[in-house]
């Protein structure tokens, strides 16, 4: 391997990018969440209106995306810790990344049914 960084446009770089993107998305969700919660003190009616929009199928899919971002960020964070603090971590970082992706996919597929079921019930009213 050439001297320098491990990130050469391969899996490591993409996991780095995905980790940063999911972190920013989570930050913006938390920012909006604090703002909409604070709205209850300013205008309870406006708060009720905002909360009512959260019960739409679109927001259910956005919540699914939020869960996807949090789950990937958490699993990849554990991988980053292993790479940094385990002596053999750098040697196995690619295998650990694919393990993270596999676990993430299995969990996200498992979470898809309740989300889609909720969205279908909201649209068709059953």
Determine the topology of domain 11-124 in CATH.
3 helical TM bundles of succinate and fumarate reductases (1.20.1300)
For residue 113, the model assigns a pLDDT of 80
What the block records as the tokens of 118 is 């909720």
Please answer whether residues 1 and 93 qualify as being in contact, where contact means their C-beta atoms are separated by less than 8 angstroms. no
Place of tokens 């385990």: 86
For residue 57, the model assigns a pLDDT of 81
List pLDDT tens digits, range 89-124.
889 999 999 999 999 999 999 888 877 776 667 677
Local confidence band at 126 (pLDDT 50, 70, 90 cut-offs): low
Residues 6+ apart with CB under 8 A from 119: 57, 60, 61
Q: Higher model confidence: residue 118 or residue 24? A: 24
For residue 55, the model assigns a pLDDT of 84
Give residue limits of the domains in the chain. Answer: 11-124
> In degrees to the nearest 10, what's the CA dihedral of 92, 17, 109, 93?
0
Name the packing angle between helices 11-42 and 93-124 (round to 10°): 40
For residue 4, the model assigns a pLDDT of 57
List pLDDT tens digits, range 2-12.
555 555 667 88
Computed over every residue of the chain, the mean pLDDT equals: 87
Place of tokens 């649209």: 123
Task: Tell me the pTM.
Answer: 0.79
**Beta strand residue intervals within 59-112, DSSP E:** none
Please answer whether residues 114 and 48 qualify as being in contact, where contact means their C-beta atoms are separated by less than 8 angstroms. no
């Amino acid at each position: 391997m050439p001297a320098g960084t491990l990130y050469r446009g391969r899996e490591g770089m993409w996991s780095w990018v995905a980790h940063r993107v999911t972190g920013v998305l989570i930050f913006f969700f938390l920012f909006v969440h604090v703002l909409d919660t604070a709205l209850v003190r300013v205008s309870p009616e406006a708060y009720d209106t905002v909360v009512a929009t959260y019960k739409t199928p679109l927001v259910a899919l956005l919540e699914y995306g939020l869960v996807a971002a949090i789950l990937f960020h958490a699993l990849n964070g554990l991988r980053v810790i292993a790479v940094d603090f385990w002596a053999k971590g750098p040697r196995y970082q690619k295998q650990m990344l694919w393990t993270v992706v596999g676990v993430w996919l299995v969990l996200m597929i498992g979470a898809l049914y309740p989300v889609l079921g909720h969205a279908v019930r909201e649209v068709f009213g059953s």
